[in-house]
A and B are shown apart, each in its own frame.
Chain A
Amino acid sequence: MELRRSFWSRNIALLLFLPAFLLTVGILVPFGYSVVMSFTNFNLTTGTSDFIGIGNYLKLTRDPEFWNSLKVTLLFTVGAVIFEVGIGFIAAYLLNLGLLGQKIWRTLFLLPVMLPPTVAAIMWKLMMAPIQGVFNYLLQLVGFAGSEWLGGSSTALLSVILIDAYVFVPFAGMIFLAGVQNLPKEPYEAAAVDGVSNWFTFRKLTIPLLKPVILIVLLFRIMDCLKHFDIIYAATKGGPASATMTLSVQAYYHSFRWTNMGYAFAHLVVLWAIVYVLSYFLVGQWKKAVSEVHGG
């Protein structure tokens, strides 16, 4: 009995640590494998996987497709985040006004985020179809020329941003709504006593107080948009030409269409590094904002 108790007391910490350890290993092993394979010429068709040092990374620097993918990834991220944060913020404000049927509006507002992104992409693809799609039909009804939407290189990126915004504006809006509902009342009462304008209150009170929430939304959406794959692949497959070819889609072509796994992993490691650096910066900003708002 004594012996058994001493075994537990000696090892309980290790046993409790085990799930976290396994989880960490489960995450790190595939990641480590990807990094290692990015230094090889791993190809599923030929079966080769020879170590080639930084060969894949050097190739990336000379590959115009890679630079285009990087540009498209950043444009997509900036466009989608502006849409989602902007509209999400306005939506949260409107949903907090206590309008008639507020509960129904909130439920309806949340619906798109419950759709699998691929389903949303296919749904929008049908609506955006230039010949038989409902969007062009409606545009033509009111006298406008139809658009090529996903089929035109000048409109495709904006179109996939619209689809992404449709799915993720509710996500941003709900986090903003929770933030707005938790704002302290006292500063607003003081501002009302001082007779300051609504615009001034918004700029000098609401925005600074919501800064941690805004940064959290930015963190989630920027990370997600940089890695984005499903909506774009389902809607355009990265086309027309390379108009919507993000780094994730480019990596997918190299891996599961062309079987160049080593080169695909190099793309993904670069993408991971970008996500990591930006996340690190945003988390730092968020910590700073929290301490400014809540002290400490």
Chain B
Amino acid sequence: MKKVAWLISVVGLVFLFAVAFAQEDPLAYYQQAKINWKAFEGTQLTIGLNKHPFTESLRPLLSIFEQLTGIKVAYVILPEEEFFEKLLIDLSSGGGIFDVYMTSPMFEWRYQYAGWIEDLNTYWNNPELTDQAWYNREDFYEKPLRANMWDGTIAGGLGQGRWNGIPVMVEFFCQAYRNDLREKWGLTVPTTYPDLLDTLTKAAELGKQEKPQVYGVANRGIKSWSTVHSGYFTAFSTYGQKDLNPDLTAAINTPQAKEITKIWVDILQKAGPPGWPNYTWYDAKQNFAAGRFYEITDCDFFAATYENPAQSVVAGKTGYALPPAAPDGNITSNMWTWSLGMSALSKHKEAAWLFLMWATAPQTMLDGTLKYDNFNPTRKSVWENPAVVEKTMKWGTKPGEYREIVDAMYAKYGDIRWTPNPDVTALGDIWAEALHEAYEGKKPVEQALDDAAVKINELMTKWKK
């Protein structure tokens, strides 16, 4: 009897060890794929990364890829504006430093036209390099996946043709506000843009009594397309407006466009951060998390920072709401998705493809989100993972508030609002300058937009057939 008990104990222990080791082997999941991960052993890849929460979620996982494939990974990380400029120089000069780089549809339109980005369909359809069933591309949300495909048609063709990048995170633009201050000051959550102006003006006034002072609203303002892209374009498209007409002439100066731009500039002047034109999204996120703003009308995924008590004093005090509606009740949001793309200049394209497969595989994306806060996930399996659900259900003034917004954005409100063309970021830069001019009072909103429209028309001439 004693011997039997001893035997059972030993077998039990062996089983437990086996289970424990099986769970801890980080490679086991990837080795299930019908992919020869070791095919390019000894290669070195260089990855271009933006300073971003996604990057911070990827870095700790890179050793798994190196172990799995024997491929070494070097990377360069730069702040957003500098990153895109460095990348442009690398690609246009034929330098070919980067094999893989972070990208986004707005940039891919230029890269594709100039021949700087690889069509991933070639690799996706190569059974020697890809196990489609294991990878499960259908698991991606359709909007960010399709946003990275373009057939090259100016002002159209989105979601068709070449596949330029694999989405690794997605962001929409919502309202995040200090619920504790809202209750204390007796404010309501705005549902229209005039209401937003009124609420934020009051908040800015009331915030002057706080120590340290609490400002009205945080929003990025640097002289760049990205300033236009976030809260402003969300408001702009909510009012039914487009950047370009079908004939590629500027549409930013219609009467409705001027109306919403006036409200937006008014909000910034009355309740925005002092020195708004020099304000980056890094500043906006950090200062809201530091408790210096009542509201922020920028990326929704900043919630991961706000709700992390180690990085934020507003954890558990923040409410989330959809962007305000237009007078006709319409609500929209712009969408941004960071993706990983492959340089057409890479000398290690197959190895780079293995990296893309690994970095965007369900398990890698889940680890990035669960362990290292990469939000919002682009794979349904990650967003619906029970542990991710449990974590994000707590964000907001009531259970599931944040999740409802992201779900609604995916299902209904969010999408890319820019008109596809290779010069879209140049167009955005011109538009951002007009916002600066109006904010600084150098020109009335109407004139600033009219003048910018003239410049955009000149810019777009070369794309007209």
| Co-complex (A, B) | yes
Interface residues of A (CB under 8 A from B): 43-47, 125, 129-132, 146, 148-153, 156, 236-243, 253, 256-259
Q: Is B110 an interface residue (CB 8 A)?
A: yes
CB-CB under 8 A from B459, the residues of chain A are 258
> Judging by beta carbons under 8 Å apart, are A239 and B423 in contact?
no
Distance (Å) between the CB of B451 and the closest chain A CB? 9
Provide the bound-state CA to CA distance between A38 and B154, in Å.
Answer: 28
CB-CB under 8 A from B92, the residues of chain A are 44, 259
Q: Chain B: which residue is nearest A137 at the CB level?
A: B212
CB-CB under 8 A from A152, the residues of chain B are 275, 277, 440
Given A131-B273, A256-B89, A237-B222 contact (CB < 8 Å): yes
Partner of B442, one of A146, A149, A241: A241
Q: Is B278 an interface residue (CB 8 A)?
A: yes
Provide the bound-state CA to CA distance between A124 and B110, in Å.
Answer: 34
> Judging by beta carbons under 8 Å apart, are A130 and B273 in contact?
yes
Q: Is B74 an interface residue (CB 8 A)?
A: no
Partner of A256, one of B85, B110, B290: B85
Q: Is B276 an interface residue (CB 8 A)?
A: yes
1/0 per residue, CB under 8 A from A, across B421-465: the answer is 011011001000100110110100000000000000001001000
Provide the bound-state CA to CA distance between A130 and B273, in Å.
Answer: 8
Distance (Å) between the CB of A205 and the closest chain B CB? 47
- Can you list 6 contacts pairing A with B, beta carbon distance less than 8 Å? A130-B274, A151-B277, A151-B279, A237-B223, A243-B440, A253-B429
Distance (Å) between the CB of A129 and the closest chain B CB? 7
Partner of A239, one of B110, B273, B277, B422: B277
Partner of A47, one of B85, B114, B290: B114
1/0 per residue, CB under 8 A from A, across B161-204: the answer is 00000000000000000000000000000000000000000000
Given A129-B283, A150-B278, A241-B437 contact (CB < 8 Å): yes
Q: Is B146 an interface residue (CB 8 A)?
A: no
Identify the 5 closest CB pairs spanning chains A and B, nearest first: A151-B275, A240-B277, A239-B223, A130-B274, A151-B278
> Judging by beta carbons under 8 Å apart, are B88 and A256 in contact?
yes
> Judging by beta carbons under 8 Å apart, are B275 and A130 in contact?
yes
Distance (Å) between the CB of B337 and the closest chain A CB? 21
Provide the bound-state CA to CA distance between A45 and B88, in Å.
Answer: 10
Given A129-B275, A151-B279, A257-B429, A239-B287 contact (CB < 8 Å): no
Q: Is B220 an interface residue (CB 8 A)?
A: no
> Judging by beta carbons under 8 Å apart, are B81 and A240 in contact?
no
Q: Is B215 an interface residue (CB 8 A)?
A: yes
CB-CB under 8 A from B89, the residues of chain A are 256
Provide the bound-state CA to CA distance between A19 and B115, in Å.
Answer: 39
